[in-house]
């Protein structure tokens, strides 16, 4: 689990962050430095530093005389991040659709990978491919730096999106089909269709929010 080329603080941070994002540490769950230290076999000081960093990022809260908890998914923050993402990504998709020499081989590979991981029900790998699909458009349009900026505000949105993959009544094939339709529109340079498809795709969170709250009623705040 541990990477000898990364300092212990960064290792602890990345591992705990991943467990929060994937809801292995559930929203609202009480956690302890000692238990995490024992679980990860990392000393208490790096764990404490990682928890402080995650607390500053709004993923962990400390309640006096009660304990340390994983924060619930803030739907207001997630919705705002989705709005920003849609506003930017619509223009990114438009730029790529207007290119005459766009190379889409990697996008086809990603969709094939998503189909494989969907059959295997490997939600973490499926989500990683989903991220790679969207990231590829930023790369193709020369906006990798914008993608990196977006990651600083996407945490609550990504928690929502990953949790969505755990909901049995929300099929993964919907996401794959929307990716395929979007890719076809880009490849045929149908700019209007591409803009509409990416807007609808990123609007999916709002359409499915009520369903997800019913499935995981104790996981959210600010709704």
Q: What is the CATH number of the domain that holds 48?
A: 1.10.10.10
To the nearest whole number, what is the mean pLDDT of the chain? Answer: 94
pLDDT per position as a tens digit, 76-106: 999 999 999 999 999 999 999 999 999 999 9
Global confidence as pTM: 0.90
**The last residue of a domain, from among 53, 71, 89:** 71
What pLDDT score does 3 carry? 54
Q: Is residue 2 part of a domain?
A: no
Give me the number of domains the chain comprises: 2
**The last residue of a domain, from among 26, 49, 71:** 71
Is 191 exposed, middle or buried, given 0-12, 13-18 or 19+ CB atoms closer than 10 A?
middle
Query: Cα Rg for the chain, rounded, in angstroms?
Result: 19
Same domain, 79 and 62: no
- The domain of 173 spans 74-221
Which residue intervals of the chain are DSSP H helices? 8-21, 33-40, 44-56, 75-98, 105-120, 123-140, 144-151, 155-166, 173-187, 191-202, 204-215
Same domain, 113 and 175: yes
pLDDT per position as a tens digit, 61-83: 999 989 999 999 999 999 999 99
Same domain, 130 and 201: yes
What pLDDT score does 5 carry? 41
The two tokens of residue 97 are 């659709």
CA distances from 141 to 60, 98, 133 (A): 35, 10, 13
- pLDDT classification of 217: cutoffs 50, 70, 90: very high
- pLDDT classification of 7: cutoffs 50, 70, 90: confident
Q: To which H or E segment does residue 73 belong?
A: strand 73-74
What pLDDT score does 131 carry? 97
Same domain, 85 and 153: yes
Q: Is residue 1 part of a domain?
A: no
Cα–Cα dist 141/90, whole Å:
12
Q: What is the CATH number of the domain that holds 192?
A: 1.20.120.530
């Amino acid at each position: 689990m541990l990477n000898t080329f990364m300092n212990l603080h960064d290792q602890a941070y990345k591992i705990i962050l991943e467990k929060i994002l994937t809801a292995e540490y559930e929203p609202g769950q009480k956690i302890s430095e000692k238990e995490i230290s024992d679980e990860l076999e990392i000393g208490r000081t790096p764990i404490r530093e990682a928890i402080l960093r995650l607390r500053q990022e709004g993923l962990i809260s400390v309640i006096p005389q009660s304990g340390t908890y994983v924060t619930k998914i803030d739907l207001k923050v997630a919705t705002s991040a989705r709005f920003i993402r849609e506003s930017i990504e619509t223009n990114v998709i438009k730029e790529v659709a207007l290119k005459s020499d766009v190379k889409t081989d990697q996008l086809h590979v990603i969709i094939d990978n998503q189909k494989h991981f969907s059959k295997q029900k490997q939600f973490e790998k499926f989500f990683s491919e989903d991220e790679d699909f969207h990231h590829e458009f930023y790369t193709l349009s020369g906006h990798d730096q914008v993608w990196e900026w977006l990651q600083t505000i996407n945490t609550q949105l990504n928690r929502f999106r990953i949790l969505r993959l755990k909901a049995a009544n929300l099929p993964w094939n919907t996401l794959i089909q929307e990716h395929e339709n979007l890719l076809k529109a880009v490849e045929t340079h149908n700019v209007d269709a591409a803009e509409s498809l990416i807007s609808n795709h990123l609007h999916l969170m709002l359409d499915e929010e009520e369903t997800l709250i019913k499935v995981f009623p104790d996981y959210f705040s600010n709704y």
